[in-house]
Chains A and B, each alone.
Chain A
Amino acid sequence: MTAPAWLKTTGFYLLVGIIVLQALFPFYYAVLTSLEDGQALFEVNYLPAVFDLSNYRSMLSDGVFGKQILNSVFVATVTVIISLFLAITASFALARIRFRGRGLLLLTILSVSMFPQIAVLSGLFELIRAFGLFNSLWSLVFSYMIFTLPFTVWVLTTFMRALPIEIEEAAIMDGASSFTIIRRIFVPLLWPAMVTTGLLAFIHAWNEFLFALTFLSTDTQRTVPVAIALISGRSEFEVPWGNIMAASVVVTLPLVVLVLIFQRRIVSGLTAGAVKG
């Protein structure tokens, strides 16, 4: 007994529809709300009724918000660059060089990501004060590596292990130093993996809230997730939903653009042809 074909097809598209709806509706509603102003905000509608950019104008002319976006861009970008550099050199050692305690070290790296942020928060706060990084963007770069490094190191180590060792040996015979091998052989071959992990690290750093709230104290240093949460109205009874939604849409766009750019770069099967294939 099998269900008729049309039922299967309908069921399939129904499920797809539900998944798409639950993924996209919140963002759609944010965009919709951000384009409305004043009283229109409080009338529930699911189709665009008005097209009003005043929320965006007031957000961006605010002065601080532009600076806050730059803060976020700086923190996320620097975190990704440093993480990838450390991860690729670390994974070279972890994947290719035999040394005592390698397995233990890999497990330790993974276990770093095991602790909830809130559990390490106070200790980390002390550390950041001791380094004199409080209210500096470097405090975030430093602390975000707690969660970006474990998975970048792990993913890149796995990818590097999958590369045929003979390619590396050929490079050794060709007279390349370890650093040249990493730069000229591994980085180009691991590029898809680096793009993917780099993108995930960027998104994570871009969205992070708790550390950003704790380690930064002034408005001009804040990153956008915290800044948006702290947007307040003229009185304590007013929540400026329009502005909040406009800001949310603005900070989402860079991520969407990044994903769209890099998805084309994630070319699989780049290593095909290295060895018999």
Chain B
Amino acid sequence: MTSRTSRLLLFALAASVPLLLVVLPIGNFFVMSFWRVSDNVIVPDATLANYAGFLENDAYWRTFLFTIGLCAAVAGIGIAIGYPVSYFIWRLRGRIKYLLLLLLILPLFMSYIVKIYTMRSILGLNGFLNKFLVFTGILDQPSTLFLYNRTAILITMATILLPFVILPIFLTLERIPKSLTQASADLGAGAGTTFWRVVLPLSLPGTAAGALFTFVLALGDYITPQMVGGPNGFTFGRVIWSQFGLAYNWPFGAALAVIMFLFALAVIGLAAFMAARQR
């Protein structure tokens, strides 16, 4: 039974699943990125025109760079808020610690669409945020600054993706052996010194890995920009999405997707490297 043939057969069976579901589809859109559209029909070809179209057109470049900046900002805000919050919860003791953690990651399981909807109803002209700011006297009248622009995309994504940063940071902190922080305290270090010299350096790689995964999640979002971004809120994901809708240029969309895929793969590779350094 454990002959070479049966081993190969088992491998073929096990590998057929990712092959059919992942490898072939991805290979397929790589191939299509070299095709072209003429008279609204997709024609097989071997052209680099789609890639040239991306490189030559300023608008696509600027959208790509803007999207990277946006996702970096989302990840940065995630760390800036997520790290102190994770640290605070990590130092709590007893049941409350895990209850708070559970409540912080519960939003991960809520529908993305629902979260965008609720954010939109908060940020709008008649939304809760404006009502609150006018009520407290910070603003004289409701502002339109919070919805249908690029700031709105940033606020919405940062809020929705925050739990995705908090969870890995917390898990990283949990992995720091208690003996290390105790040893630091025994040697006379205060909580501040222990944090700066022990906890922060040990949790930095895991934190970076978590932020990079969040970055990748934000990268492909095409719904948030469309729902809260308004006419100017174009991100790379939304541009790709539109090629498969009204613009109907699948080969060009595929080429843009290849660029995003390779970029995302590089970021994930970096995140995996960071996560490996953690151990």
A binds B: no
Mark A residues whose CB is within 8 Å of B: none
Mark B residues whose CB is within 8 Å of A: none
